[in-house]
């Protein structure tokens, strides 16, 4: 699903469309419903237009009908069901079809669409695009690694989990949450607060804890340097300024870039 993190199955929205020289369809404005007499003519308003109901770059289930509208009667001679998303170019809205799930014609009825196949709609035909809720629940899992959620009442919404993400609610929508979005939810204050409130020992497997700011400091009543070193067992490739406790000699030692030097202390 590329960068799209959620999929919408809207109860109902509709638009007339026009075929282009690509597989994308151009969505037309409300005046098209006035120009073609059919069951939608007197009931469709701006509130029901597909481009006003479905946000751009959000996947949804569609049904595209290729119609014969002669004598003011609309008959469907072919339809395609699938998943796509809307995008805007200038002031115009387009439907980008990502995957077809079913085709249907007069001769064969409804049948599964071949893999990676999209129907070539006739540029001179009447095309209507609707948002739909799939008839079968298995269609809701058209994408792998998906979970079924509910963003709107009585409206199943599959959410595809991207790699290394969680399911969460952000900006009033259930979606795939990556590490940066998780940080937005938790906020730095929450993260720091969780560490501050922890009363257990913090055990880190990291080899280095690097405080990057020039004025960084560690303030604590007690610093414990583990006594694991000796004359024959000192750190390999130490950084200049490193400190150890030499358990063999009983001395703290500092590395000056070339040698380990015992630290000199005041009178005991």
Contact 113, 83 (CB under 8 A): no
The average confidence (pLDDT) of the chain is 86
Taking only the tens place, the pLDDT of each residue in 106-155 is: 888 999 999 999 999 988 888 999 999 888 888 888 888 888 888 777 77
Rounded distance, CA 107 to CA 267, Å?
102
Mean pLDDT, rounded, for 180-202: 86
Place of tokens 């950084």: 239
Residue 64 is encoded by which pair of tokens? 């595209």
Would you say residue 20 has pLDDT above 90?
A: yes
Mean pLDDT, rounded, for 165-182: 86
Please calculate the CA angle 133-139-142 and round it to the nearest 5 degrees: 120
CA distances from 190 to 43, 129, 195 (A): 50, 45, 9
Can you give the pLDDT at residue 2? Answer: 41
Residue 244 is encoded by which pair of tokens? 């150890």
Would you say residue 57 has pLDDT above 60?
A: yes
Can you give the pLDDT at residue 6? Answer: 61
Rounded distance, CA 68 to CA 83, Å?
24
């Amino acid at each position: 699903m590329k960068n799209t993190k959620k999929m919408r199955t809207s109860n109902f929205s509709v638009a007339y469309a026009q075929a282009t020289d690509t597989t994308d369809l151009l969505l037309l404005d409300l005046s098209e419903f006035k120009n073609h007499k059919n069951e939608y003519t007197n009931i469709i308003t701006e509130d029901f237009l597909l481009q006003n109901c479905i946000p751009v770059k959000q996947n949804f289930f569609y049904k595209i009908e290729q119609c014969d509208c002669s004598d003011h009667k609309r008959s469907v001679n072919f339809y395609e069901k699938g998943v796509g998303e809307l995008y805007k170019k200038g002031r115009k809205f387009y439907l980008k079809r990502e995957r077809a799930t079913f085709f249907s014609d007069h001769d064969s009825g409804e049948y599964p669409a071949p893999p990676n196949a999209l129907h070539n709609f006739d540029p001179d035909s009447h095309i209507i695009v609707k948002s739909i809720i799939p008839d079968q629940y298995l269609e809701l899992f058209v994408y792998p690694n998906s979970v079924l959620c509910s963003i709107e009442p009585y409206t199943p919404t599959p959410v595809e989990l991207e790699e290394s993400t969680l399911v969460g609610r952000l900006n009033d929508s259930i979606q795939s949450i990556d590490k940066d979005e998780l940080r937005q939810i938790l906020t730095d204050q929450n993260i720091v607060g969780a560490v501050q409130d922890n009363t257990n020992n913090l055990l880190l497997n990291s080899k280095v804890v690097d405080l990057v700011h020039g004025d960084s400091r560690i303030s604590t009543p007690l610093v414990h340097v583990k006594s694991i070193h000796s004359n024959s067992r000192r750190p390999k490739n130490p950084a200049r300024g490193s400190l150890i406790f030499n358990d063999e000699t009983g001395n703290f030692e500092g590395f000056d870039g070339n040698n380990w030097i015992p630290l000199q202390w005041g009178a005991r």
